[in-house]
Structure formats: C-alpha cells, structure tokens
Amino acid sequence: MRASVIFMGSDLPPLYRLGIVGSGQIARMTHAAALQLGITPRLLAEDLGDSAVLAAPDAVFSHPDALASFVQTCEVVTFEHERLDLGLLERLEADGMAIRPGVTSIRAAFDKMHQRRVLLNRGFNVPIFAELRSPDDLLDFTNVFDWPAVIKSVRAGLPGQRSHWIVENRGEAMAVISEQQGRELMIENYQSIVKELVVLVARRPGGNARCYPVVETVMSDSHCKEIRTPAAIGPQVAAEARELALKIADELDAVGILAVEFFLTPDGLVINELAARPHNAGHLTIEGSPTSQFENHVRGVLDLPLGPTRMNAPAVVTVNVVGAYDGVDPSQHLAEALAVEGIHIHLYGKSPFPGRKLGHVTALGDDLDQASELARRGEAALMGRRPV
C-alpha cells in the first residue's frame, strides 16, 4: 500500500518541518491542524489501520527504536502519547534535537510518581501518595491513611488499558497488586470529588502562554462521557484553576498543549493528572474556539504565535462516541446523526470495539442544557440508540 524511506545521517537537512510520534485520533487531529497551515507532518506510526494513518500520507512504520532516525528527518518532533524511551529522548534533546514538549514535561506526564513528587516539591496541592512495590508499602500507607484508597499504574497504559482502581480494603488492594504484577504501581488517598475539571494551556518555548476556559468532564462508568464549558463553578475557582495550570506549565517548561486535570473537592482544587499533549477534553475547541487545541499545539511546538483561546459560544459541549458491547458502527449511522441539526460530528475511522473512543460530537449553544441535549442526540443517533 505504501512504502517510505527514512534518510539517515545527521548532515542532511530535515525533510519535514513537523514529526508526530503516534497514530491515534490525537495525531489525526493534530495532523489536520498542521495541514491547514500548509504543513504536512510525518508520522511515526504503529499500525497500518490506525486512525491517523488513514488520514496521513507521510506515515512511517517502525520499531520504536527508530525514533532516533525519525527525529533526524524532522525539524521538530512532538508526541501523541507517553509510551516512550525517556533515556533516548534525553540523549536526543541533549544532541540539540527539537523534542517538544521537552523531556522535563514528558517525564512528568509519563511517570506519575515523578509527577507527584515534582508537583509536591513545588508546592502544588496533590493527593497524598506513596510507591506501592510490596505488601509492606501497602501496610505503611494504610496505617496512616484511611480506606478507600486509589491504586494507580505509574506509567500510562495502552489505549483502553485500565490504569487506576479504587480499593475499599486490604483484600481488594492485594487483589489489584497481584493482578497487576509487572506494572509499577502507586497508592494515593481517595479524593472526595465534587467535580472533575481540565485546564488546557498552550505555551511556546520561552514562556509565552495562553489558557483555554476551564472545562468540566462528566464521568459515567469511569469513562469521560461529556465535556462542558463553561464549567459550573464560581469565577474564583475558575481563576484559580487557570492560574495553577499556567504555573505548572511554567514549572515544567511545557511546550504545545499541557492539559491539567483537577479534582474539585470540598477542600478546594487538587491536581489529578497532567498530559503533555492535546487532550480528549479539548476536542470541543475545534469548533468551540477560534483556535483549536490542535492548532495551538502545532503553533506552540513550532514556536509560532499562539491563537485566541476564548470560546465562540456561551456554551460548548462534546459527547464522546465510545464503542458499545453491541458492536454498532457509528459510521453506518451517519445519515441519522447528520439529521440532528447543528451538531459537529467527528469520526476517527476506527473499527468499533467496546470501550474504544470512535469519535465525538460537539454542539455550540446559548446554554449548557441546550448544547448538551443536542450533542447527546447526535451521539445517540450515531450509536443507533434513541437519545436518553
């Protein structure tokens, strides 16, 4: 179907202005944003049928160790995921390659223990946490903190792979530890969550940064089902979340999009997780903002001026289209879904599989209820259901 050649040798000028490591829907939408600006990125892809590969003429398929030669073919390289060899990235960065975001950000997103330590050391509010390498670690932690607790995988899992477990007692915790043998784990105190919030920061090398309005993610069955902006929070909490996100971006010297996930608890904002790339909660910026998170990611990593991050409407809502157990293929229901007036449908070209993110639907409106109702009607139509 296609064949590509990677040219080797550091004396050659880079062939591509932008390389993207990864080939899922984040890479697909980042690729589309670059194309609009006249830039055809090269992908370092995983599988011929991947979402971004279906959309990108310049994809190379390769062992992950080919990263070094891939990087040499591009002026700037950015990343869709955190499943990377950090040591190799460090050497490439030290050799002067434009790895964006830099290894400092990638390490913080990649290694959740490291992320917690960095944030704690710099005075940010994170859950109480500990390594969980043995039953002794469990005992040490639970001697001091109450149940329930949260066990997490230190490294990001593969797409669809579970990475955290709420455990109510020692038995449940031990079961997770034994089930997840071979994965590095950590344990945290459970947060009483009023709301889950995400702030996206777009940042250039050197520190120029812009922040999107706070979005609220609505979970259902531990999947993020709906993303809404404005978040239903007071202006002080919103200002605090944005300020914290900008500070964290500065501390990590983030470049491109940094997504900061917060828990809003009865005691205030607690940092949940960081992602050093465009984020699922930011898809609503495609139609919802003058500059999508993907375009601002491209602008940021290429050190180009950032675009406006305000919203285009009083309310913007995205509903994720997630594979169901009945195996329904949303691409077979496009006609019904497009009949829902005024929604924006995005399908990622992925074959349906239970739990897999297959697409999303965005609606702009005058208020959250109206936008949410529209987006949910579109999602239901795609999934061959009547809307709830």
In eight-state DSSP terms, residue 307 is P
Q: For residue 271, give both structure tokens.
A: 């940092």
How far is 1 from 36, CA to CA, in rounded Å? Answer: 25
Of 161, 110, 154, 109, give the one whose Cα is nearest residue 133: 154
Q: Tell which positions 306-365 bind a second copy, by CB under 8 A.
A: 307-308, 312, 330-331, 334-335, 338-339, 341-342, 344-349, 359
Burial 268-280 (b: 16+ CB within 10 A, else e): ebbbbbbbbbbbb
Kindly state whether residue 164 participates in binding a second copy, applying the rule CB under 8 A: no
Kindly state whether residue 15 participates in binding a second copy, applying the rule CB under 8 A: no
* Minimum gap (Å) between residue 347 Cβ and a second copy: 3
Which residue from 64, 159, 290, 354 is in contact with a second copy, where contact means CB under 8 A?
290
User: In the stretch 36-55, what mask flags binding to a second copy with x, by CB under 8 A?
Assistant: xxxxx------------xxx
Which residue from 81, 100, 297, 299 is in contact with a second copy, where contact means CB under 8 A?
299
Check the CA dihedral 121-127-132-137 and report its sign. positive
How far is 296 from 364, CA to CA, in rounded Å? Answer: 20
Instruction: Compare residues 25 and 191 and give the one whose CB is closer to a second copy.
Output: 25
CA distances from 136 to 8, 112, 170 (A): 49, 20, 12
* Minimum gap (Å) between residue 4 Cβ and a second copy: 7
- Partners of residue 192 on adjacent β-strands: none
Instruction: Compare residues 52 and 281 and give the one whose CB is closer to a second copy.
Output: 52
Kindly state whether residue 280 participates in binding a second copy, applying the rule CB under 8 A: no
Instruction: Compare residues 91 and 310 and give the one whose CB is closer to a second copy.
Output: 310
Q: Is 11 helix (H, G, I), strand (E, B) or coil?
A: coil
Kindly state whether residue 203 participates in binding a second copy, applying the rule CB under 8 A: no
Q: What is the DSSP string of 288-299?
A: HSSS-HHHHHHH
Contact 188, 129 (CB under 8 A): yes
The number of residues that bind a second copy (CB under 8 A) is 42
Kindly state whether residue 204 participates in binding a second copy, applying the rule CB under 8 A: no
Which residue from 6, 15, 35, 218 is in contact with a second copy, where contact means CB under 8 A?
35
- Site residues, a second copy (CB under 8 A): 1-4, 28, 32, 35-40, 53-57, 59, 287, 290, 299, 303-305, 307-308, 312, 330-331, 334-335, 338-339, 341-342, 344-349, 359
